[in-house]
Amino acid sequence: NSIQIIGKRLGTDTRAAELIRKIRKSLFQRGNLPNGAKVSPKVLLIADRDPDRLKTMYIIGTRGFLNEILELVGARNAYSGNIPYPSISVDSVSSMNPDIIIDFTFTKSKEAKEKIKRSWDRYQMIRAVRNRKIIFAEGDFWQKPGPRIGLIADELRRILY
């Protein structure tokens, strides 16, 4: 609705309507589980952590817009509690046993990403670690709901499937 209002005030009704159509198409696309998959992947979304190690991790809970988009693309949050951004330990990650871990901490250098991946290596009991499914989200759009929300859904589909 806000995109429509802004478009009208700026005299760009047609462009606003097209943007809304694209967002809806991305968010509500069906057939999200490819290749006949029968189970939705269980995904852990790390919002923040210590920059150099797996300490003081904060994850995205089940109440935010990223969780809603995760569900719309056919996946489920590995965390099922009610805290919006809980602080967790590696032991908690182990008990959740996600299929995929997506790290939103904006780790920029390849060396830093490799260091974090090596830190995970000792936790082979975690499915995402064992299957090398630790993904670093790229881009500045992930935690900002707005006109690029459809891009978030598209990127999640690309990462997950």
Local structure of 87: helix, strand or coil? strand
d(Cα 9, Cα 116) in Å, to the nearest integer? 47
Nearest residue to 102 via CA among 72, 63, 143 = 143
Q: Which residues face 87 on adjacent strands?
A: 58
Q: What integer pLDDT is reported at residue 30 of this predicted model?
A: 52
d(Cα 79, Cα 118) in Å, to the nearest integer? 23
pLDDT digits (tens, 9 = 90+) for 9-66: 889 888 878 877 787 776 666 554 555 555 689 999 999 998 878 988 999 999 888 9
pLDDT digits (tens, 9 = 90+) for 105-153: 877 788 988 999 999 999 999 999 999 999 998 887 887 777 788 888 8
Helices (H) and strands (E) in the chain, counts: 7, 6
Nearest residue to 27 via CA among 111, 159, 152, 160 = 152
d(Cα 109, Cα 48) in Å, to the nearest integer? 16
d(Cα 98, Cα 100) in Å, to the nearest integer? 5
pLDDT digits (tens, 9 = 90+) for 117-130: 999 999 999 999 99
